[in-house]
Homo-oligomer: A and B are copies of this chain.
Amino acid sequence: MSNQLSYATGSTFPPQNGPLRLYSMRFCPYSQRVRLVLAAKNVPCEIVNINAKRRPEWYLEINPLGLVPTLQHDDGKQVNESFIISEYLDGVYPQNKLIPTEPYVKARNQMLIDNFQRIAALLFRSLKFKDAEAFNEISKILDNYEKALGSEDFFGGKNPGITDYMIWPWFERFETLKPLTNNELDKKRFPKLTAWVQRMQKQDAVKQCASEPSQILEFYKVSLTNQEPDYDIGLEKPEPPPPAEGEAEAAPAE
């Protein structure tokens, strides 16, 4: 559902096609959070992918910081920030409630999600600087998640809930990015999380929103060098337009 060619600088604004649109980026874990929630709740939504390196001018009018994800209703309502969008969607679409209403259960989920920001930052450090200590720190934090899962199948109980979907994108990356971090989830230290990963991989929403591992790897390899990665890896691209008349002749002769 996210396999649309991305829009870059110079592109024309695509008129909204349906009541709900998500501005997303195919390999962005925060965008993936919202796509997971949409899939888990079976909410149809148009996906518009943004080239995060060369953002369309029109996107900066929608989101001045140029960040994804942004959710846009056709009545003009707009919501930013992955957790806020997810909670909003869970409030508006009552099917398959992901966020518990009991205040303390809800707060516990929020703390697990909030604290996971530290892991997201550490994974980046691990990737960027091949910093083994960063992965040690990740493991120390994950000890709490192993403990929090307890004897449940999912953080949401018998079925995945908000915490499961908010933290999942990084677990997908632990495995896929192993060649870059030289590290992965230690199955002996994390038997419960390991079993949870296997259960998550069987969920329809997770399957629908998964990226091809080789594509994530290729994407990170390039983006970590601060070069522009191919935001459209693996997608069928339109034929480049034929050279404008006289262009070949205009090229400098060597």
- The chain A residues found within 8 Å of chain B, CB to CB, are 77, 79-81, 84-85, 87-88, 91-92, 103-104, 106-107, 110-111, 114
A77 touching B104 in the complex, CB below 8 Å, given contacts A111-B84, A114-B84: yes
A235 to chain B, nearest CB (A): 31
Residues in B neighbouring A91, C-beta threshold 8 A = 103, 106
Interface of A is mostly: helix
Chain B residue at smallest Cβ distance from A93: B103
A10 to chain B, nearest CB (A): 26
B104 touches A87 (CB 8 A): no
A110 touches B84 (CB 8 A): yes
Chain B residue at smallest Cβ distance from A89: B103
- The one of B77, B87, B104, B107 that contacts A110, using a Cβ cutoff of 8 Å: B87
- The one of B77, B80, B84, B107 that contacts A87, using a Cβ cutoff of 8 Å: B107
A114 touches B77 (CB 8 A): no
B77 touches A111 (CB 8 A): no
Chain B residue at smallest Cβ distance from A73: B104
